[in-house]
């Protein structure tokens, strides 16, 4: 800008010089080249960002499929747990019933033993 300003001041009364036009054209060319570089960098960055987005979408889809599979594996578990609880309760009920029956039989056996022990011994008639 300084060169352009100086040239304009020097040639304010006359038409712009060829030097001014060449300097200005060089500056425009340089600016255009920089703009082109920035556009190229921007385009490259956009392509890289799109590639990263694509990779992330693939990873998300893979994780989603994995989680859906795990969920499918877990779905029958609540029913299986419920059935296991019912079976456990039934087994515990049977165990208590068998325990009561065993105690009753032990009591009966003890009573019979006591009766046998207290009964008079029969002798054989000769």
Query: Mind listing the pLDDT tens digit for each residue in 77-108?
Result: 999 999 999 999 999 999 999 999 999 999 99
Instruction: Return the higher-pLDDT residue of 11 and 121.
Output: 121
**Residue 54 pLDDT exceeds 60:** yes
Tell me how far CA of residue 90 lies from CA of 53, 86, 102, in angstroms. 56, 6, 18
Q: Which position has the token pair 């100086």? A: 6
Q: To 10 degrees, the CA torsion angle through 36, 38, 39, 42?
A: 160
């Amino acid at each position: 800008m300084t060169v352009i300003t100086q040239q304009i001041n020097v040639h304010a009364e006359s038409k712009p010089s060829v030097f001014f036009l060449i300097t200005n054209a060089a500056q425009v060319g340089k600016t255009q080249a920089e703009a082109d570089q920035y556009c190229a960098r921007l385009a490259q960055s956009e392509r890289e960002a799109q590639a990263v987005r694509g990779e992330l979408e693939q990873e998300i889809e893979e994780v989603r499929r994995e989680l859906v599979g795990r969920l499918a594996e877990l779905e029958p578990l609540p029913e299986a747990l419920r059935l296991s609880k019912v079976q456990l309760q039934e087994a515990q009920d049977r165990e208590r019933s068998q325990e009561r029956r065993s105690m009753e039989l032990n009591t009966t056996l003890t009573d019979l033993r006591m009766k046998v022990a207290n009964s008079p011994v029969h002798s054989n008639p000769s």
